[in-house]
Amino acid sequence: MDASMKRRQEGFTLIESMVAFVMLVVGLLGVFQLHLTAKRGNYEAFEYTQAHALATAIVERMRLNTRQLSTYVSSSYGSGTFTPPLTSCVSPPTDEPLCNPQEMAQWDQYVWDQMVAGRNERLGDRSIGAPVARTGCIARTDDTVEVVVAWEGMDQASGNTASDLTTPCGTSSNKRRSIQLVTTITATP
């Protein structure tokens, strides 16, 4: 036998190296796609949580002002159509009484409109605190109050359009997301 043939082969061939590299790239692409899916899911969960917090906030405000329940009914929260009331109910002067129920309702409507639109979170002159086309709607039938918060999601969804709700809120879309909070609040005279 030839001495050169007896010598053991050491190292990797070019083809083995390329196959290993391709396998590594495919694995990294899979991990990257998993990361993107997780981020989208995280974002969607955050939006649902934020919408639920908004709905709960206005319900609690309404429970504190049961004399003006019908004043809260609207389907245009988040549009910026509510003007700031003349009286701020946040920190009234100590020598004056608190807001009356009507002023409180106007203040609540204005503040919730701003929150739904995300106008409290700003970057320069842009509002950045709300997802695309977030809308809030409040409906009332006798003692039943229904609060809906709807917005545009990132991806298409099935079975969750604005037209599926008892109280339609926002425009119907295959990307539409919404939460619906129904509660009972007894109005006081």
- Domain extents in the chain: 14-184
Handedness of CA 106, 107, 112, 118 (dihedral sign): positive
Percentage of the chain beyond pLDDT 90 is 43
Residue 82, classified by CB atoms within 10 Å of its CB into exposed (0-12), middle (13-18) or buried (19+), is buried
Q: Distance between CA 171 and CA 120 in Å, rounded?
A: 24
pTM across the whole model: 0.77
* Per-residue pLDDT, 167: 66
**pLDDT, average across residues 27-50:** 91
What pLDDT, in 10s, does the model give residues 77-105?
988 888 888 877 776 556 666 788 898 89
What pLDDT, in 10s, does the model give residues 130-171?
788 889 999 999 999 999 999 988 878 765 444 455 667 877
* Per-residue pLDDT, 120: 76
The region of weakest confidence among 57-61, 123-127, 169-173 is: 123-127
Distance of CA 118 to the CA centre of its chain: 10
* Per-residue pLDDT, 52: 95
